Structure 1
Amino acid sequence: MNLQATIDFDLRRFFRWWSKELSYWIPAPVLALLSDRSGYLIFAETPAGMTATFRRALDPDQPPVFSKTLNRDNPDAYRELLALQPELQKADTLLRLEASQGLTKTIYLPLAAQENLAQVVGFELDRYTPFKADAVYFANLPLGKTDSGQLRVQLVLTPRPVLDRLLEQLQSWGVQPSGVDYAEALPAEGITADYNLLPERFQPRGNRLSQSLHWLLNGLFALLLLAATIWPVWREGEAVERLKASIKTLEKETRLIEGQQQEIEAVRSKTQRLIDLKTQTPSLIEVLNELSKLLKDDTWLTHFQYTDKHLQVQGQSPAASALIGILEASPYFANVAFVSPLTQDKNTGRERFQISMDVAAVAETEPSEAADTAEETDTDANPADDNGSGTANE
């Protein structure tokens, strides 16, 4: 890849191409309003006379509107044609040379010749053709660079007498062509070539003000068309930016809500842990109530310590050794054991004890089980009443 290579850019050819491509997107009625031309009238010499072909557009795929052969000896031939076709007055007039009236050839030149291509071709013309530069009208069409670094050029020429005669014929009818091309040197993509064999002295002098106004109007229309194309896209872009801003705001609110939900979830988890802890551990009142039920009236406590599901009690009892079995039988207590040996109190005669045990939660009785228990109690009570009543009756 050669980074030092120069980039050739022909601004005039670019705008010609750009205008042509843009015209494909414009409807034909609108394009006709913008253009000051009704079409293209192409003159070509044939054995029968001078043929005039009218086309709406420079497109070889579209058939011509009409084609008529004019008599060379009739000085009013063109005026009669205008009388039949008034729209030809606004047509762009071209002269097309037939195959026998010109010559085309592809030549190769050094790249340095590109800056003064016309002068170089004119100087070297007799090397590539049997004509000298002052005997022909010629044009050159650059075709690009070759792989070997040479400039490829298409040379088109016609003898001066041939073109002068044809131009004089047209001038006798009052026709002033705006361009001359060669039928054997037309580009593949269109009818008109990117060159002009018309001598400078025959080129029409247009109204600069009219042409400037025409191009100004076309430029304004192109700007309006461009604005009409870009404006909706710009509006959509603004709408997208607004949506992005809204999404950012919603994302901030969403993150705030998620943070609050996490805090709520943390509080709920702590609360649930406290509830589970309370459910798994009996309350102090329940433990005291259970001890009051299990211990007889001749047994009392002098010390009570309840910490983290573990209970340690001290006291006196006539039969302290029996307390281990009594406490183990309770669903509230497990791992019941003496912490120290039993001793005798001389004043009371009772045994001093120190017992430790684990405290466990007791599942609450289901309503159905309580109901069944109540029914069993009632059943046990009824037979006694029945028996008593029977005895009384007897």
Structure 2
Amino acid sequence: MSLFGSSLGGRLGHIGARLGPGAGGFLRWWGGALASWLPLRWRRVLGFDRGRLLLQRDGDELQLRLNSAGELRDLGRLPLLPPLPEGAPTTDDPLARLLDARIADLPRWLLLAPAQGLRRRISLPAAAADRLRDVVGFEIDRQTPFTADAVAYDARVLGRRDGDGQVDAELVAVPRAVLDPQLAALGPLTPTLAGVDLAAADGLPLGINLLPPSQRRRHRDPWAGWNLALAAVAVVAIAALLWQLLDNRRDAAEAFEQEIARSADAGRQAAAQRGELMELIEGQAFLDRARAQRPTSIEVIDELTRRLPDGTYLEKLSIDDQQMLLIGLSGEAAALIGQLQGTGLWQSPALAGALQPDPDSGRDRFTLVAKLAKPTPAATKPPEAGDDATDPAG
């Protein structure tokens, strides 16, 4: 994992430790995963992987190396600086005059040789990963021949077990008798150290910090302000995006409601039209049934023209439901009842009231009623020639 990954994971781990048990380990792993996704160039541009300046004593010389993105690059060698005299200001930084400002401003770490430290692999409960350094402090007496006060120590997580919920950790301890002379040999550079690390067999740092927290120099990240500004912009952008999504959902809901209202209006109109159509169909069916129960007016008039004698004139013909009314003048008014009988279009023809002579025409005024009936096929059959009922001269 890169320096940025371990740094980001460590910060998230501290935050997770405050949230609850187990949260620190998850956030530390998540921070490392996020770091591995970013390209190296992006990490450098954003100031996330500035690297660190490693100081390693080699005899009477001090070897300078740049540790960045999991790689080591030799910068050069310097003679060990003499200790500061009594009363000399401690703000003077010799490396600031010798190195480029960008490198001199990097966090400085003392790198110890692999043989100068003691490493022990131990198994601990998963809950101990959030406070690993405090937990391994109780294991020093059992894992090393030294007491906790006689060594500078730190620990790192190597892996997590899926079966028993344990974590594999490594305890790294350096005797004070070894570390203190190394710190003293740095002279004026000792107060500028941010940490002490131990080199592995391949020469790369293990990623621990053996320097007590009270002696570590805190380096201000020059990109911290930009990072906070970018984080604030990201939060505002996310809030604006969420607000826009919510507004879009509201617009979509309103459009959907309007569409439903339009569909409901169309449905109500269709239902009303369907109701009107059903009423028309039912009315037409009723008329058809009523028409089927009585003969049509054409059939009645046609049958009357066949049966009424030639000297008979109608002044009024009324068909009301099942009732037929005839008012007219006839020279054979008394014989009309017989003329109108024997048809299936009406029944029971009879005179309504007495016959009244008309002096102008010399005929009798009559009023005749009959009850209409459903016609039969034989009802409209014309009378045979020579039949007395249809002979007007008879």
**Distance in 1 separating the partners of 2:282 and 2:349:** 39
Q: CA deviation at 1:70?
A: 1.5
- The residue aligned with 1:248 is 257
Summarize the alignment of residues 164-175 of structure 1 with structure 2, pairs less than 5 Å apart. Answer: 164-171=180-187
Q: May I ask how many residue pairs the two structures share in their alignment?
A: 318
- The residue aligned with 1:330 is none
- The residue aligned with 1:176 is 192
Q: Deviations over 1:313-364 (max 9, x none)?
A: 999355566x54xxxxxxxxxxx3786799xxxx99xxx997754269xxxx
- The residue aligned with 2:121 is 106
Distance 1:31 1:84, change over 3 A: closer
Q: Deviations over 1:147-175 (max 9, x none)?
A: 66777643111222332233333335578
TM-score, with length taken from structure 1? 0.58
Q: Is the 8 A contact 1:99 1:182 kept in 2?
A: yes
**Distance in 2 separating the partners of 1:111 and 1:122:** 16
In the alignment, is residue 232 of structure 1 matched against residue 249 of structure 2? no
In the alignment, is residue 270 of structure 1 matched against residue 279 of structure 2? yes
In the alignment, is residue 258 of structure 1 matched against residue 243 of structure 2? no
Among 103, 121, 133, the residue aligned to 2:148: 133
**Distance in 1 separating the partners of 2:40 and 2:253:** 38
Among 336, 341, 353, the residue aligned to 1:316: 336
Name structure 2 gaps, 5 residues minimum: 1-18, 83-92, 327-334, 356-363, 377-394
- The residue aligned with 1:43 is 55
Among 140, 164, 170, the residue aligned to 1:154: 170
In structure 1, the residue corresponding to 2:298 is in which secondary structure? helix
Distance 1:278 1:131, change over 3 A: same
CA root-mean-square deviation? 5.3
Summarize the alignment of residues 1-394 of structure 1 with structure 2, pairs less than 5 Å apart. Answer: 7-9=20-22, 14=27, 18=31, 21=34, 32=45, 38-44=50-56, 50-56=62-68, 59-60=69-70, 63=71, 66-72=73-79, 83=98, 85-108=100-123, 121-141=136-156, 153-171=169-187, 176-184=192-200, 193=207, 195-200=208-213, 202-204=215-217, 215=224, 218-271=227-280, 274=283, 281=291, 285-297=297-309, 307=321, 316-318=336-338, 323-324=342-343, 336=344, 357-358=373-374
- The residue aligned with 1:363 is none
Q: Point out the structure with the larger helix share.
A: 1
Q: CA deviation at 1:243?
A: 2.1
**Distance in 2 separating the partners of 1:116 and 1:341:** 120
Identity of aligned residues (%): 20
Name structure 1 gaps, 5 residues minimum: 1-5, 325-335, 361-394
Distance 1:131 1:252, change over 3 A: same
Q: Is the 8 A contact 2:64 2:77 kept in 1?
A: yes
Q: CA deviation at 1:120?
A: 6.2
**Distance in 2 separating the partners of 1:300 and 1:251:** 68
Q: Is the 8 A contact 1:311 1:357 kept in 2?
A: no
**Distance in 1 separating the partners of 2:283 and 2:374:** 20
Distance 1:304 1:181, change over 3 A: same
